[in-house]
Amino acid sequence: MKRKLIAAIGVAAMTATVAACGSGDDGGSGGSSDSITVWLMDGSAPEPWVEELSAAFEAEHDVEVNVEIQQWDGIQDRVITALSEDGTVDVLEIGNTHTVGYANTGGLADLADFADEPWNAPMLESTRVDDTLYAVPWYGANRVVIYDKGIWEEAGAEVPTTRDEWITALETIQENTDAEPIYLPGQSYYVMGGFVADAGGTFAVEEGDGWAGSLATPEGQAGMEFYAELQAFSNAPTDIDEAEPQQSTDVVPNGNVASWIGLGWEAAGAIAAIEEQGGEADFGYFPVPGETADQLGHVFLGGSNLAVSGRAGNSELANEWLRMATSQEWAQKFVDANNGGVVPNRTDVTASPEPGSFAEAMVASADVGYLPPLTTGWANVETLPNPIKELMTQALNGDDYQSAAEEADAEITERINRE
């Protein structure tokens, strides 16, 4: 009865809805056979690359490509619901740590046809579930240490190649200048994860059929201890992360910061903000040092994959678009359009960063990248309140690490095993 009612109102809606709605006669912008809809995240792809690619694809297939740039706010809800709709989206960008979760929902198409391309092996890990390929790598990015050359020179500090040298350099800056030796907020958990990985640990381990948090371990504690050692050089609060206030555009340009740990776009953002103030950024970059000089520190291998919706309006065209966008030619163009500032998705694409650039430092440590557990539930762990962040704040505020970590592990275990 009520269903009929809804249906009746639905019919009224169809007839009464004016042209303002995108769902005209083809039942959704991506639903028709002569167009496909691609969702890319805000800030991911350089605009010229997107436009050039769309034009080339449209010329070759005589179809329309709607690239819809998605905002980050509320993106999870939008992707989940979009994957449940027929024809809303054909190809979409998904963060590498979230891909497995979406694959397990049955919402992504099997991309077996793409298996034989020369993908970057570490990046490929995040795209597969039990040998089935649900996405293809698009680009990667990782953090490096960004430092203010002027301050380091003034202090007489040297670019470090080991952790000990790093600490020494920070001490030198603290003694010889007024600058904050390093800006490191208390909850930058992907940085901490790198230190845990250096010690051979990880956020969670497989246990039986499921996963269990593994921070209440000697490895976890070692990682946290080194993080605390660095954090002691920073004036940053212990209960915030690097995004709020945004370290690159809000903190670094307004403070006297000698160094910080960030991504390529953050470095670019900081430079732009400093120039807007009429200053000039003089940044140098080095990879996060490891315990010894022959081993760089582990860094979180962030990045994005591209996937095809299982309910795509036109999966054949979607596959074609994906093939073109990730082909050697267009992947190379993508890397070039980013000035080499991304880790390429294919082995036959080369990033040739300029000496002394961010990209050079980044590519150097791309090989010691680590990924968080690739499970459906990992996204749950990262939902605010994130137990890892809570643990970090507690540890930095002097609480007993072991008991706080046991609590965090319990929460991680509970969340990571939820589908």
Range 267-296, binding another protein (CB under 8 A)? 269, 273, 276-277
Phi, psi of 386 (to 5 degrees): -75, 120
**Is 81 an interacting residue with respect to another protein (CB under 8 A)?**
yes
Rg (CA), the chain: 23
**Is 265 an interacting residue with respect to another protein (CB under 8 A)?**
yes
DSSP count for the chain of H helices, then E strands:
16, 15
**Is 29 an interacting residue with respect to another protein (CB under 8 A)?**
yes
DSSP 220-276: HHHHHHHHHHHHTT--S-TT--SBTTBIIIIIGGGS-BSEEEE-HHHHHHHHHHHHH
Considering only residues 50 through 79, tell me which ones interact with another protein, judged by CB under 8 A.
68, 71-74, 76-78
**Is 118 an interacting residue with respect to another protein (CB under 8 A)?**
no
**Looking at 25, 62, 116, 419, which residue binds another protein (CB under 8 A)?**
419
* Residue closer to another protein, measured from CB, 83 or 151: 83
**Is 49 an interacting residue with respect to another protein (CB under 8 A)?**
no
| Strand, coil or helix: 145 | strand
* Residue closer to another protein, measured from CB, 332 or 393: 393
Give, in degrees to the nearest 5, the angle at Cα 265 between 262 and 268.
95
Give the type of residue at 197: A
Q: Using an 8 Å Cβ cutoff, are 52 and 333 in contact?
A: yes
- Determine how β-strand 35-41 pairs with β-strand 64-70: parallel
**Looking at 160, 201, 213, 253, which residue binds another protein (CB under 8 A)?**
253
User: Closest distance between another protein and the C-beta of residue 81, in Å?
Assistant: 5
* Residue closer to another protein, measured from CB, 81 or 350: 81
* Residue closer to another protein, measured from CB, 27 or 156: 27
User: Closest distance between another protein and the C-beta of residue 45, in Å?
Assistant: 12
* Residue closer to another protein, measured from CB, 41 or 222: 41
Considering only residues 222 through 241, tell me which ones interact with another protein, judged by CB under 8 A.
235-237, 239-240
Considering only residues 301 through 330, tell me which ones interact with another protein, judged by CB under 8 A.
310
Alpha helices in 309-370 (DSSP H): 315-325, 328-337, 358-365
User: Closest distance between another protein and the C-beta of residue 231, in Å?
Assistant: 14
**Is 254 an interacting residue with respect to another protein (CB under 8 A)?**
yes
For another protein, which stretch binds (CB under 8 A), given 7-15, 114-122, 318-326, 356-364? 7-15
* Residue closer to another protein, measured from CB, 263 or 296: 263
**Looking at 162, 246, 315, 417, which residue binds another protein (CB under 8 A)?**
246
Q: Using an 8 Å Cβ cutoff, are 321 and 91 in contact?
A: yes
Q: Specify the DSSP class assigned to residue 309.
A: B
What CA–CA distance (Å, rounded) separates 276 from 258?
19
